[in-house]
Structure 1
Amino acid sequence: MAGTDNHPEQQEAVNKDLGQILSELEKNSDGQSLPPVEKWNPEFCGDMELIIKRDGSWQYEGSPIGRQRLVKLFSTVLKKEDDKYFLVTPVEKLGIRVEDAPFLVIRMQVKDTAEGPIISFEDNCDNQIVLTKDNPIWVEHDSKTGEPSPYIMVRRNLHALIHRNVFYELVERAEERVIVDQKHLGVMSAGEFFSLGTI
């Protein structure tokens, strides 16, 4: 898949060492806020041999990227258009593969307030996500096995798979509620009820 339709000049960009891309990102980052990738529209430079696995690990040319700092920085310039994912800088746009979701939720916290509980999550790239109507949770089921895959919106149209252990924590907090004559198991957060599935 990667690079098969690239022009020579595109292939040269695709073959860039990750260090060069990192340098470009650091030059355009203030280290605090997320880069404005939605405002960056460079020309497509081709696909690169980078894949985000279902377990949240990043692999470049078949080898894991072991430095979490790099993974975190690259994750800030992820962009999704239709069903395709890209790493975007002000000067280039490189296609990557994502097995399932670009992020993986690894822990959750619950804060009890006077208005009710607020559930927040942390993913493998240090994103902090509060479960609200703007960042909802949803569950998809494998058509063959029926196994649930829970997700939450992180930002824009990028979402995270919720690790099974964290999902079990959610289920332990779940309560029953009838919605349109159907029993749902779900959780409350920020004044909203989020269904984890019907029962």
Structure 2
Amino acid sequence: MPMPELPSDLSRLSLADIAQLAADQRLPPVDQWSPTKFGHSDMRIARDASWYHQGDPIRRETMVRLFSTILRRDPDGRHYLVTPVEKLEIDVDDTPFLAVEVKSEGEGDTRTLAFRLNTGDLILAGPDHPLRLTELDGELIPVLSVRGGMEARLARPVYYAMADWAIAEAHDPIGLWSGGVFFPLAGQ
């Protein structure tokens, strides 16, 4: 399945363009596959969303992108690389994805936030892809629902941009709307 070539900068795209590109992203139906071979991949996704195989970084972005399309999180909370024949566990230190870019269109309850992940995936925050706060190392951090119970941590510059927009709008609690849903960005 060929991977669509995605633009390198969200700022050049309209929200309609981003929504269409996000809708056009086709992923293998890993949730429908029930392989009979099991094992461990000798792979790990670090906290910064870097991928490793046998302790060495995977430097080819196309390989990371390809592996990310067959990544699945099972109800036991473990992550797997899944094909129709094989299911290999992969260690994930934190979240498997990192939101590296954000684009905002609109204001207040008409705002929509579009995110680009480290894998190139495009996600529009809203009811199907909510933002939530989770605790990590004693800090509340925002994460974005990606698919199948998997989430993306927000890169610091992404979070800071969102915090600036939220402070300017002065909601109580502080937060942002996206896709008709309000998402708090700070704890109570």
The 1:189/1:93 distance shift into structure 2, 3 A limit, reads: same
Corresponding position of 1:12: none
Distance 1:184 1:135 in 2: 20
Tell me the SS of whatever aligns to 1:55: coil
Matched, 1:51 2:44: yes
Corresponding position of 1:194: 183
Matched, 1:34 2:47: no
Corresponding position of 1:137: 131
Superposed displacement of residue 188, structure 1: 1.3
Q: Specify which of 144, 153, 165 is matched with residue 161 of structure 1.
A: 153
Corresponding position of 1:66: 59
Which residue identity is paired with 2:113? I
The 1:77/1:148 distance shift into structure 2, 3 A limit, reads: same
Q: Specify which of 99, 103, 125 is matched with residue 109 of structure 1.
A: 103
Larger-Rg structure:
1
Distance 1:115 1:196 in 2: 15
Which residue identity is paired with 2:187? T
The 1:83/1:110 distance shift into structure 2, 3 A limit, reads: same
User: How high is the sequence identity, in percent, across the aligned residues?
Assistant: 36
1:87-110 Cα distance to aligned partner (Å, 9 max, x none) = 000110001100000100000001
Distance 1:151 1:115 in 2: 20
Backbone CA RMSD of aligned residues: 1.9
Superposed displacement of residue 113, structure 1: 7.7
Corresponding position of 2:89: 95
Matched, 1:80 2:80: no
Corresponding position of 2:142: 150
The 1:176/1:80 distance shift into structure 2, 3 A limit, reads: same
Tell me if the contact between 2:140 and 2:186 (Cα under 8 Å) persists in the aligned partners: no
Tell me if the contact between 2:108 and 2:177 (Cα under 8 Å) persists in the aligned partners: no
The 1:95/1:114 distance shift into structure 2, 3 A limit, reads: closer
Higher share of residues assigned strand: 1
Distance 1:110 1:186 in 2: 13
TM-score (norm 2): 0.81
> Which shows bigger deviation, 62-71 or 156-165?
156-165
Tell me the SS of whatever aligns to 1:197: coil
Which residue identity is paired with 1:188? W
Tell me the SS of whatever aligns to 1:75: helix
Task: List structure 1 runs of 4+ shifted beyond 4 angstroms.
Answer: none
The 1:155/1:142 distance shift into structure 2, 3 A limit, reads: closer
Tell me if the contact between 2:109 and 2:177 (Cα under 8 Å) persists in the aligned partners: no
Unaligned 5+ segments in structure 2 are 5-25
TM-score (norm 1): 0.76
